[in-house]
Amino acid sequence: MKYYILFGPPGAGKGTQAGAMAERYNLCHISTGELLRSEIAAGTELGKQAKTLIDAGNLVPDEVVESMIEAKFRSTKGVDGFLLDGFPRTIAQAKVLDEMLEKHGESVTACLSIMIPDAMVHERISHRAAIEGRADDARPEIVENRIRTYHAKTEPIIRYYKDAEKYCEIDGTGSITEVHDRIFHLMDRF
């Protein structure tokens, strides 16, 4: 079983690329946001717990998200692996993921990071805001804060996976097809 982690700044094209990656390599794409919404809609115990917290205006604790991911690993059949998008976000979560997989004699295959320059993040998010009408993406100071937050939160995790020799950086500039090709060329080696 393969376990890939997908990283990249806002606007890097993770959502666009994840579908193609999942399809080509028969992976289950796990987006933590979608997973939470799915568990809540299904009315599972974890979903009920998450809904109670969200309805009260609280963040869903790591343990709940981690339990949902572990449950998804166990319940998903007929795939060759998983593509994690939005998890782990901290070194503590990365260590929990390692422990989760080690219990079954498995480990993270690779951390794939789609990288684009900060100026391109501004460009792409502004473009997306105009097309999708996302007011939160239209203000430059909001975009700048998202970039700062991304760098502050992900750089320690990038170091963690570099130290484990599992970090792979992909140039996210160019056309969707060009980026697909770079990702596929890299993933074909695994």
pLDDT, one tens digit per residue, over 85-134 is 988 988 999 999 999 999 999 999 999 999 999 888 888 887 776 777 66
Q: What is the pLDDT of residue 136?
A: 60
Structure tokens at 75: 């319940």
Q: How far apart are CA 183 and CA 169, in angstroms?
A: 9
Q: How confident is the model at residue 180 (pLDDT cuts 50, 70, 90)?
A: very high
What the chain holds in terms of domains, given with CATH numbers, is 2-184 (3.40.50.300)
Q: What is the pLDDT of residue 134?
A: 64
Q: Which residue has the higher pLDDT, 3 or 63?
A: 3
Q: Tell me the pLDDT tens digit for each residue of 125-170.
A: 877 767 776 666 667 777 788 788 788 877 889 999 999 999 999 9
CA 134 vs. chain centroid, Å, equals: 21
Q: How confident is the model at residue 34 (pLDDT cuts 50, 70, 90)?
A: confident
Neighbouring CB atoms inside 10 A of 75's CB total 8
The pLDDT > 70 percentage for the chain reads 96
Q: How far apart are CA 155 and CA 157, in angstroms?
A: 5
The arithmetic mean of pLDDT across residues 170-186, rounded, is 94
Which residues 6+ apart lie within 8 Å of 182 measured at CB? 170, 171
Tell which residue, 175, 160, 73, has the closest CA to residue 113.
Answer: 160
9 vs 117: CA distance, rounded Å: 9
pLDDT at 55 over 80: no
> d(Cα 121, Cα 77) in Å, to the nearest integer?
36
**Predicted model pTM:** 0.84
What average pLDDT does the chain have? Answer: 88
